[in-house]
Amino acid sequence: MAVTMRDVAIVARVSPKTVSNVVNDHPNVHPDTRARVQRAIAELGYRPNHSARGLRSGRTGVIGLAVPELKQAYFAELADAVIAAAAKRGLSVIVGQLGGDREHEIELLTHGLPQTDGLLFSPEQLGSEDRDLLADVDFPLVMLGEWIFGGPTDHVTMHNVTAARSAVEHLISLGRRRIAVIGAHPEDETRQLGPSNLRIQGYREALAAAGIEHDPRLERVVAPWHPDDGAEAARELIRSGLEFDAVFALTDALALGALRALGEAGRVVPDDVAVIGFDNIAISHLANPSLSSVDPGRAEIAEMAVGMLVERIEWGTGSSRPARLHKAAFDVIVRESSGGTTVTAPTEPADAAQALNG
């Protein structure tokens, strides 16, 4: 386990802020206190983060973006949107993927990304139980995603529950009553803020509001969220013999896999089975039939997150300004897979970006 600033603070009998002041060579630290902190740093082998060094010597003009996996189209397109938002501000972006590894995520929070002025961070294995780790961070940080709410950092995310509910309400409006959902995650059972749990919650709320009985057999566990896994989940659903007339896939990647499996089985979309996904990725309109999807506001997420991070960089790591939470607006994009007549392409990030309003 990486040594944190809090560990140093405990050994040196000072606050994490005092450790940060010593690391950043602030002049208002008593010599005896400075020496005690330096001894603790040496004893524990603590490595100050590279971002703080860069800020001391002059900004690099580079920010970091850390995501779980670029193989997932949502994160690849989020990276593209972040790069576009940063470029408008004269900044470059270093993108890292952590592979859903908890130790790597903790290491990143401890040391930051080398030669960057700040970090946008979308963890996958850290949860709200880890929010205390954020108190030790001594570089500008904006959190993305669903896992860590209520921490001391700015946070930009999406309306997972409401957006999922709206997607299922769209299917219900078509007269569909046996609606399957593909993408539940078994490990989310004890992590209520995970994206799959939140979207499943929205699915169940839509059914309940419409007076449709919930059938847990129609909820299919899929991990990871790749197209092949979505196809196999749909095949298992078909093989089960369960009646279903619609599919809500928790990502477009899963939905594209489901479309393939339904076609193989001779199920006509949308006549036999209506399908809607989530993410509105760039290739969604090129599927045959074109894929209905929830646009979760990816361009707005990128614009807001970069804007917040730039403000934090300007304010400096010692700023006591309160943390902010922003949830991007979403839209349900109706295409051919749920009865629409268009193949509307997703809006490019640079065109859809909204001005920072925080």
Domain ranges across the chain? 1-48, 56-153+301-316, 160-295+331-352
Question: Measured between alpha carbons, how far is residue 83 from residues 24, 76, 79, 87, 299 in Å?
Answer: 29, 11, 6, 6, 11
Environment class of residue 256 by beta-carbon count within 10 Å: exposed (0-12), middle (13-18) or buried (19+)? buried
The answer on pLDDT for 349 being more than 60 is no
Average pLDDT estimate for 50-56:
48
Interaxial angle between packed helices 195-209 and 160-173, expressed in degrees from 0 to 180 and rounded to the nearest 10: 40
Which of 62-71, 187-196, 261-270 has the weakest average pLDDT? 187-196
Q: Which CATH class is domain 56-153+301-316?
A: alpha beta
Please check whether the domain covering 160-295+331-352 is classified as CATH 3.40.50.2300.
Answer: yes
Q: Look at the domain 1-48 and name its fold.
A: 434 Repressor (Amino-terminal Domain) (1.10.260)
| HSE (side-chain half, CA atoms, 13 Å) at 92 | 7
Same fold, 1-48 and 160-295+331-352: no
Q: What is the DSSP string of 15-34?
A: -HHHHHHHHTT-S-S-HHHH
Tens of pLDDT, residues 289-340? 999 999 999 999 999 999 999 999 988 766 678 899 999 999 999 999 999 8
User: For the chain, how are helix, strand and coil distributed in percent, rounded to 5?
Assistant: 45, 15, 40
Tens of pLDDT, residues 236-266? 999 999 999 999 999 999 999 999 999 999 9
Confidence of residue 31 (pLDDT cuts 50, 70, 90): confident
SS3 of 72-139: CHHHHHHHHHHHHHHHCCCCEEEEEECCCCHHHHHHHHHHCCCCCCCEEECCCCCCHHHHHHHHHCCC
